[in-house]
Amino acid sequence: MTAAQPCRVFVVEDEFLVALQIEDDLIAAGYLVVGPFTSLSTSIAASRAETFDVATLDLNLRGEFVYPLVDELLERHVPVLLLTGYAGSDLPERFRCLPRLTKPFDGSELISRIKSMVPAV
Amino acid sequence: MCSAETLPKFVLGDLGALGSPDFRAALDALAFAVYTTDAEGFVTYCNPAAADLAGRQPELGQDRWCVSWKLRRPDGSPLPHDECPMAMALKGRQPIRGQELVAVRPDGSTALLLPHPTPIFDASGELTGAVNLLVDISDHKSAEKDSRYLAAIVESSDDAIVTKDLNGIITSWNKGAERLFGYAHDEVVGKSITILMPPGYENEEPNILRRIRSGERIDHYQTTRRRKDGALIEISLTVSPVRDATGRIVGASKIARDITEQKRAGEALAARLREQAALYRLTERLHRAQDDSEVYEAALDAIQGALGCHRASILLFESTATMHFVAWRGLSSQYRGAVDGHSPWTAEEQDPEPIFLQDVAHAEALAALRPIIEAEGIAALGFIPLVADGRLIGKFMTYYDRPHVFTDNEIGVALTIARQLGFSIQRMRAEEARRVAEEQLRQNEATERARAAELMAIMEAVPASIWIARTPDCRVISGNRAAYELLRQAPDGNLSLSAPTGERPDNFRVFATGRMLAPEELPVQRAARGEDVQNFEEEIRFEDGTSRHVFGNATPLRDAAGEVIGAVAASVDITERKLVEEALRESERRLQIALGAGRMGAWEWNIGTGKVIWSPGLEALHDIEPGTFGGTFADFKRDIHPDDLPLVELEIARAMETREEYHVVYRIRLPDGSIRWMETFGQFSPQGAAKPGKLAGVCMDITERKEAESQRSLLVAELSHRVKNTLAIVSSIARQSFSINPDFHEAHRTFDARIRALAQTHTRLAEASWSGVSLETVLFDELAPYHDDARNNVTLAGPPTKLPPKYALTLGMAAHELATNAAKHGALSVKSGSVDIEWSARGTDRLRVRWSESGGPPVLAPKRNGFGRLLLERVLASDLGGEVQLEFAPQGLVCTIDIPYPREPSP
């Protein structure tokens, strides 16, 4: 990662209004947004095609859980931030220790979380 | 002469029976002389024979005591009237007999009379008089006539006939006397009779003479006389007085007979009689004897009496096979001690013979014992064996002070006594044995009676009812108190339903398994036919509608030969148990219903045996055929989910440890592999026991509940997700609304309207339980605020189309943006404008919606992308995967939305 190459954030969020906000916030903070993707299938396909440094994933994509993608990303050692309205206890055991942001969240909250995982530049 | 007519009346009356004229006539005619006197002795009657005898007619009422002129004694001396026998009888108030007297008639002749004066008493015992019968014993004529014959008889008599005078001088001596005494006639006539008297008999003659003088006759007087040769002879003497013609006693005649042989024979006879009497007494006493000592005493008495020895003894073998004294007479203890145990025979001796030692001094057999015997003063002795049942049991001994010849007769008597004694000892022993046996029997009987009483007491005391029939026909059945109480009958009544009408109880009927039993089907009656009736159960229904249940057994009563002679039955009242059982069955039935309804099953684990019982319901929960559960703890564990088995085992261990209720929730795996959730509760029984016997409880399938729970948590999570998502949307809308529009108030209104629109769609979805909402409703809701009065400015046209929630929310927001834009800048901002919305399902999987405005102010393309456009172009495209075309045509905005339309609403 170099200064010329801004940090790329893979965004999966089926609620487009929320996705817009995430996108706005990340761009404002100097990140490059890959996505947002709104369905599990398009997300998985995109994740394999695109390169990115970190992923923010909405848990529920129109009834489909994003877990297969999470597993795949964890396997690829990509840092993952879960964005969800669910409580931690609703998550499968193996995902409970992942960084998680509960909706609705503040833009600055999101950025600081992302920053703690990967610096923007 | 005297006649009845001359008798005074009062005399006749006093004479009682004599007063009868018939009797008087009889007396008058009598040949015997009879006269009577009054109590004072005055003659009151005299019959003709008496007057003839007296030779005079007595003066009645004047003559006293006697009818004769004068009286003399037989020896010739005068006898005063007031001393005559009649006077003595009246004075002494008793009859006088045997006193002869001589009556002297006025003519001087005499008569020797034997008077029979007899006093007479009336009924009260008063002396009323006397009657005298006079027998004339002087018959000179016949005596004189017979004297020649008499002399011949005397001479020829074998008996010695001797006469003597009152001084005892022999006056005649016949041939018999010569033979008997050895003296010739001439040697003794004129001599004193005392020459015949042996020494010691000297006093006899004066006594005889004295008695003769007084007129007495001596008959068969036995005495001893000495012959001329000095030999003593036994004679029998008859001595009579000899009188002269006037009746005066002048001497005596003696008839003597030699009775030596006769006397010897008599003595022998007497001895035999004595023996016989002794044996008879022995027999009688032995027969009556109550114990051994009486037997011995009787035998000793008989030995002494019949064998003439004053010393005797009885010895018997004892268990030691030696003889010992059991009874004795006249023996010193030293002697008994010295000879005790000696016996000429052993106990095994067969047919022992008696031994008689007639002279101890010459008895060699005695050996060392002889000095002892002689010291005791015994000179002769006999050993007589006692035998019973052919076995020697002992002996009896006779002892004599002088040498003694044992006659055959004595030996016979001794053997007779021995037989009797042996038999009696045997009898006493048998008697003793019988007595012991009887005592035993009595004790047994007493024991039996005590046992019977005990049994009776037990029978009365037991709470069980007992019935007894003592005949096979069971016409009478009695019972113990409990039986009478059970059947509500008076004690001692007949309890048999087999009894004839009127005798049998009629206050109850007996049922078994709901059917009324005939009398012959009842347990006692069946047992009385020989059947062993086990575990019968009956219901006794009383006429008042109540009933009792009994349970028991009946068994035949048999006599010693095994014949059935009755029956006995015992039963207990199980009514309470029945009720409890019924209640238990009812509660079990309710439990089964409850278990079935609640998808529950019951189980029981016997900790001791390891056996596990499952109710059919529990088997159904485990999806196995009824009755196929293996019945062990291992079978139970097999179905438990391996992840949950440790928990179950832990809970069981904990419950056993704490004795508290067992409660655990676990999963089981059904045969088809599916997983079910089970919840079970259990309790140990008996409760409070030191060691639990059973763990029993219920188990229920809570899979549905578990699923519902998980559904609920899913719903809660979903709700949370949606709410938070919605809030995120609201937050985004707010940012879009407020960041784009510089006019705060305008932005605020726009924001409010957007939120309301969003809320409206939420409301519609909520009304339909989030199952979806129709496109027309969504569109209508957004356009309704802009309808004109006639609702002509908005048209909606399309097939019924149901939108899933996500579609409804997104399309709702899109419609809101289009409508507000139309109202602000487009067709709905003027009265002439209108909006037409058409939709169609293209094919089966796409929805096409066309929004077209007309009649509004001229359309201008927007200078910048506002929120509405962003929403339409990007959100619809990205959220719903649709294509949106915005055409800013001059006549009005046209928006075309083409989105994939799912056939069924997505969850």
Do B669 and B757 belong to one domain?
Answer: no
Terminal CA-CA length for chain B: 185
Determine the average pLDDT of the residues in B412-441. Answer: 87
pLDDT at res. B2: 39
3-state secondary structure B13-31: HHCHHHHCHHHHHHHHHCC
Do B618 and B516 belong to one domain?
Answer: no
> Measured in whole angstroms, how far is the alpha carbon of residue B553 from the centre of its chain?
20
Q: Which CATH class is domain A8-115?
A: alpha beta
Determine the average pLDDT of the residues in B723-737. Answer: 81
Q: Is residue B437 part of a domain?
A: no
Bridge partners (DSSP) of residue B129 are B38, B120
Q: What is the pLDDT of residues A13-22, one digit of tens each?
A: 887 788 888 8
Q: Minimal Cα distance from B881: which residue of A? A: A38
Do B160 and B132 belong to one domain?
Answer: no
Q: Minimal Cα distance from A15: which residue of B? A: B879
pLDDT at res. B655: 84
Do B145 and B251 belong to one domain?
Answer: yes
Range with the poorest average pLDDT among A58-62, A106-110, B14-18, B88-92: B14-18
> Which among B114, B138, B162 is the end of a domain?
B138
Q: How many structural domains comprise chain B? A: 6
Residue B278, H or E segment:
helix B260-288
User: Which domain does B231 fall in, by range?
Assistant: 141-258
- Lookup: tokens for B726: 């919605």
- Lookup: tokens for B84: 């005559």
Do B646 and B683 belong to one domain?
Answer: yes
Do B503 and B630 belong to one domain?
Answer: no
> Which among B637, B671, B701 is the end of a domain?
B701
Residue A47 has pLDDT above 80, yes or no: yes
- Lookup: tokens for B269: 């006879």
Do B211 and B344 belong to one domain?
Answer: no
Would the CA dihedral through A102, A107, A108, A112 be positive or negative?
positive
Determine the average pLDDT of the residues in B340-347. Answer: 84
Do B373 and B225 belong to one domain?
Answer: no
Band (pLDDT 50/70/90 cuts) for residue B477 is very high
Give the integer Cα–Cα distance in Å for B62 and B48. Answer: 18
Residues of A in contact with B806 (CB under 8 A): 62
pLDDT at res. B509: 92
pLDDT at res. B276: 82
Determine the average pLDDT of the residues in B108-121. Answer: 86
pLDDT at res. B907: 38
Determine the average pLDDT of the residues in B796-805. Answer: 87
Band (pLDDT 50/70/90 cuts) for residue B360 is confident
Read off the CATH number of the domain in which B502 is found. 3.30.450.20
Residue A57 has pLDDT above 80, yes or no: yes
> Does B732 sit within 8 Å of A20, measured CB to CB?
yes
Instruction: State the amino acid at position B800 in one-letter form.
Output: P
Do B134 and B145 belong to one domain?
Answer: no
Band (pLDDT 50/70/90 cuts) for residue B596 is low
Band (pLDDT 50/70/90 cuts) for residue B863 is low
Bridge partners (DSSP) of residue B399 are B311, B381
Band (pLDDT 50/70/90 cuts) for residue B148 is low
Q: 1-30 in A: which are within 8 Å (CB) of B?
A: 14-21, 24
Range with the poorest average pLDDT among B47-56, B585-594, B838-847: B585-594
> Does B875 sit within 8 Å of A85, measured CB to CB?
no
- Lookup: tokens for B639: 């179905």
Q: Is residue B594 part of a domain?
A: yes
> Does A60 sit within 8 Å of B720, measured CB to CB?
no
Residues of A in contact with B881 (CB under 8 A): 38-39
Do B425 and B475 belong to one domain?
Answer: no
Read off the CATH number of the domain in which B790 is found. 3.30.565.10
Residue B14 has pLDDT above 60, yes or no: no
Which of A14, A18, A86 is the closest to B720 by Cβ?
Answer: A86
Burial class (CB in 10 A: 0-12, 13-18, 19+), B773: buried
Q: Is residue B556 part of a domain?
A: yes
Q: Is residue B451 part of a domain?
A: no
Residue B313 has pLDDT above 90, yes or no: yes
Q: Is residue B453 part of a domain?
A: no
Q: What is the ipTM of this complex?
A: 0.74
Do B149 and B132 belong to one domain?
Answer: no
Q: What is the pLDDT of residues B662-711, one digit of tens each?
A: 889 999 988 888 888 888 888 887 766 666 678 888 888 888 888 888 88
DSSP H helices, chain A, are 16-28, 40-49, 67-75, 107-117
> Which among B701, B727, B744 is the end of a domain?
B701
Q: Is residue B447 part of a domain?
A: no
Q: Give, as one character, the DSSP assignment of residue B216.
A: -
CB B343 within 8 A of CB B318: no
Do B491 and B555 belong to one domain?
Answer: yes
Give the integer Cα–Cα distance in Å for B110 and B70. Answer: 9
Would the CA dihedral through B701, B705, B706, B707 be positive or negative?
positive
Task: Find, among B732, B621, B608, the residue nearest to B675 by Cα.
Answer: B621
Q: A with B: how many residue pairs have Cβ under 8 Å apart?
A: 72
